[in-house]
Chain A
């Protein structure tokens, strides 16, 4: 569904990080609809990081504004850890300041979606991320 060759592994391990369980549920449903089945959840960066460290995750979808460790700091931590730095990170957030988007880009985000978003946007961004990664 994401690449013409259908090369994308839908069994890849995805971690959805958001402090609101309803948003995690929405994203999980959308991802499931796109064929992803192996999805875990975390409610902030502090919960996510240890999961990533011993979880063999292939992809992270994270919110920005969360109590505890924020999404941008989680992104920085992922990029700073040589075992995790290869994991693509998609940010799905209500944070809409240009300065923040630039901050995220400089920190090495792979995609940035502003809330409220649509299923089509999520689909397009996923496509793009994995197309680029080849």
Chain B
């Protein structure tokens, strides 16, 4: 624009301007000045006009786009509820599984104990080194062992079925999470549309930025450790790092 600031006005224009001012025709004088400057202004005005139209259209589109409103007021709160459902169901499944496992532990320990009671005499029997009294005792022990094992294995079987059934959360939470992923995709598309409408390029900022970390760099589980240089990929890496620090 700097070249255009040197625009000269013609003598004719200058005379006319003086005439307008002298005859107190301020409006006409202003118009004349605008005309003299018009090469600059017409471009500028045209550009501002274009931008204004774009902005107007964009804003109108947003008002029309009720989907965006639905996303914010209905879908996202619904998604929060769904994700809470996932938390509570996985927690419930984990607890049901641990209930069963914790009930199995003592049962197995009990059987193990009885086996170690039977074992010394059994070994003696196997080496033909058992007297009659011991044989009777062994028979008693084996009898107890058989009875408990029979009873306890059906208990273990029942508890294992509980563990099995506790895994049904995967189907339900899988479906719920898939729905939330669809929603996230839709929100992403809307946001990209918004950025584009306002003339901001989403690609420009798409550099491989790391996710935001919280206090103390907290980020939670890393799901793409193979693509990251700043994280360890397992316990071995941790141990190597610590030993390199003199641990």
A22 touching B91 in the complex, CB below 8 Å, given contacts A29-B102, A102-B245? yes
| Chain A 70-101 interface mask (CB, 8 Å, partner B; 1/0) | 10110000000000000000000011111111
Cα distance A22–B91 in the bound complex, in angstroms: 7
Q: Which residue of A lies closest to B246 (CB)?
A: A105
CA distance A29 to B242 in the complex (A): 27
Selecting from B5-13, B123-131, B174-182, B232-240, the interface stretch reads B232-240
- Per-residue CB contact flags for chain A residues 85-125 toward chain B (1 = under 8 Å, else 0) read 00000000011111111110100000011110100010000
A129 to B88, CA, bound (A): 35
Contacts of B217 in A (CB 8 A): 95, 97, 99-100, 103
B residues 191-241 in Cβ contact with A at 8 Å:
215-222, 225, 230-235, 238, 241
Measured CA separation A70–B225 after assembly (Å): 23
For B242, list chain A residues within 8 Å (CB): 101, 105, 112
A21 to B215, CA, bound (A): 23
B232 touching A96 by the CB < 8 A rule? yes
Closest Cβ of chain B to A109, distance in Å, is 9
> B218: which A residues are within 8 A, CB to CB?
64-65, 70, 95
Q: Mark B117-149, 1 if CB is under 8 A from A, else 0.
A: 000000000000000000000000000000000
Per a CB cutoff under 8 Å, which of A26, A73, A101, A113 touches B241? A101
Interface 1/0 per residue, B94-112 and A, CB below 8 Å: 1100100110010000000
Please classify how large the interface on chain B is, using the bins under 10, 10 to 19, 20 to 34, 35 or more. 20 to 34
Q: Is A114 touching B245 in the complex (CB atoms < 8 A)?
A: no
A25 adjacent to chain B (CB < 8 Å) = yes
B77: min CB distance to chain A, Å = 21
Choose among B102, B105, B216, B235 the residue that contacts A103 (Cβ–Cβ < 8 A): B216
A98 touching B235, Cβ below 8 Å: no
Asked if residues A101 and B216 are in contact (CB atoms below 8 Å), the reply is: no
Bound form: Cα–Cα A23–B61 in Å: 48
| Chain A contacts for B225, CB-based, 8 A | 96
- Do B216 and A113 touch across chains, with their CB atoms under 8 A apart? no
The reply to whether B98 and A98 contact each other, CB–CB distance below 8 Å, is: no
Query: What are 20 A-B contacts with C-beta separation under 8 Å?
Result: A22-B91, A22-B95, A29-B98, A29-B102, A64-B216, A95-B218, A95-B220, A96-B222, A96-B233, A97-B217, A98-B231, A98-B232, A99-B230, A100-B217, A101-B232, A103-B216, A105-B247, A112-B238, A114-B232, A114-B234
Q: Please name 18 further chain A to chain B contacts, defined as beta carbons within 8 Å, in addition to the given A97-B219, A98-B232, sorted by A numbering.
A: A22-B95, A22-B98, A26-B98, A64-B218, A70-B216, A94-B222, A95-B220, A96-B231, A96-B233, A96-B238, A97-B217, A100-B216, A101-B241, A102-B241, A105-B242, A105-B245, A112-B242, A114-B232
Name A's B-contacting residues (CB within 8 A). Answer: 20-22, 25-26, 29, 33, 64-65, 70, 72-73, 94-103, 105, 112-115, 117, 121
